[in-house]
Structure 1
């Protein structure tokens, strides 16, 4: 269970997995009572289970910090899902329990995806790609609102707070780009008029100069 970060698993799944581990060690100690390692492992996991039960209700939402950690946890979540399938097939748990645990795992999987988007958004921002950062934050927000928004109020608020200055900066940038384009167009339209006036003045000058030369020769 050390593969999961502290407070990552919901208590119900945590307790379920520990009870399965304890059950396995109990069977091992019955098969080989002289094996001190099995006996010691049984004591350790039993003690840890008691601690988990005592600390119920103290779970806090944690935010993962790396894509590598998220990918690793996804693999463990898949293994946990398969373990639950086998447990219900062997009737170690009921269909009702299985459905409940699956719902909890789905929530964890959603959280992994959200944390992945947030990490990508931060990384994009670090290298100056604001639009890409907005894209990832937007994906995270859409995923949250697709689920049960009331369960993710804090996270939605956090994403909105991160998005707000980025959106403002992007809008300002777009306005500046548009203003620049309009200025270029205006300059492009004004230049031919200036050139046309200059050409007319030069033609008039040549015409007058030619007339003066003609008078001299006459």
Structure 2
């Protein structure tokens, strides 16, 4: 009789151990699943912020498509993990349609950032986008050619907003009549273009910017403005021949600047 009792006890212990093991495995999988859902939600939100945070047309079609494909992948995984949540299917349909529409409509509108806050936000978003491209490359989700292409386009955008920031400051200085200060900021814009001119892509823009700086320098010398930051005595409402010539030179520079902004490595 005792043998049956001992056998029963052993059986119960085995069943208990099996139950505990299965329970532990189920709980472990539940925790892993929840962590994956949390991570996917965070990634989806980050990609969404990147895709919608820039002004329309600021990112190239290649970079916008990359973000939409990342969003689609996240939504597909979330749909499988949480089939009872209809928002995942809705988001999946939304980003799939946006990707299709983005492929069909290639925008050629020049997008220029025109205030410091917008430039600051864009710079932060570009840093995050650079990190995302590096992560995708490390995971082998994109190949070396794609990585170099995306990186090149991001670097061009970083250069663009740097130039935009200096140009904004220069125009503000001009409006205040501070011609030498405007020359200083245009000079910083020229320096930024020169630093990214390894392939001589910006030679013409730099030459035109030199002309803008020379015209303003000549005007500052003629007005007797001694130092940067000293207000000009010329009323802002008057337009001299030098002003018109400078505006013409700058307009030519902007037109050329727009061309390289829209240039993709795939062109």
Scaled by the length of structure 2, the TM-score of the pair is 0.60
In the alignment, what sits opposite 2:165?
116
In the alignment, what sits opposite 1:54?
104
Alignment equivalent of 2:213, drawn from 127, 138, 163: 163
CA distance in 2 between counterparts of 1:15 and 1:158 reads 34
Alignment equivalent of 1:25, drawn from 75, 99, 114: 75
Alignment equivalent of 1:43, drawn from 93, 101, 106: 93
Question: Could you say what the CA RMSD is over the residues aligned between the two structures, in angstroms?
Answer: 2.3
Task: Give the 3-state SS of the residue equivalent to 2:84 in structure 1.
Answer: coil
CA distance in 1 between counterparts of 2:69 and 2:61 reads 12
Task: Give the 3-state SS of the residue equivalent to 1:2 in structure 2.
Answer: helix
Give the helix-richer structure, 1 or 2.
1
Alignment equivalent of 1:63, drawn from 112, 115, 128: 112
Distance apart, 1:146 and its partner CA:
3.5
After the TM superposition, which of the residue ranges 69-78 and 119-128 deviates more from structure 2? 119-128
CA distance in 2 between counterparts of 1:23 and 1:76 reads 21
For structure 1, list consecutive stretches of 5 or more residues without a partner in the other structure.
178-218
Task: Give the 3-state SS of the residue equivalent to 1:74 in structure 2.
Answer: helix
For structure 2, list consecutive stretches of 5 or more residues without a partner in the other structure.
1-50, 227-267
Q: Deviations over 1:40-77 (max 9, x none)?
A: 11111111111110013x33331111011101111111
Distance apart, 1:151 and its partner CA:
4.2
Cα 1:21–1:155, aligned 2, differ >3 Å: closer, same or farther?
Answer: farther
State yes or no: 1:137 paired with 2:220.
no
Scaled by the length of structure 1, the TM-score of the pair is 0.72
State yes or no: 1:100 paired with 2:187.
no
Larger-gyration structure (1/2) = 1
Q: 4+ runs of 1 displaced by more than 3 Å? A: 148-165
Q: Deviations over 1:145-176 (max 9, x none)?
A: 333486447855774564354223113134x9
In the alignment, what sits opposite 2:60?
10
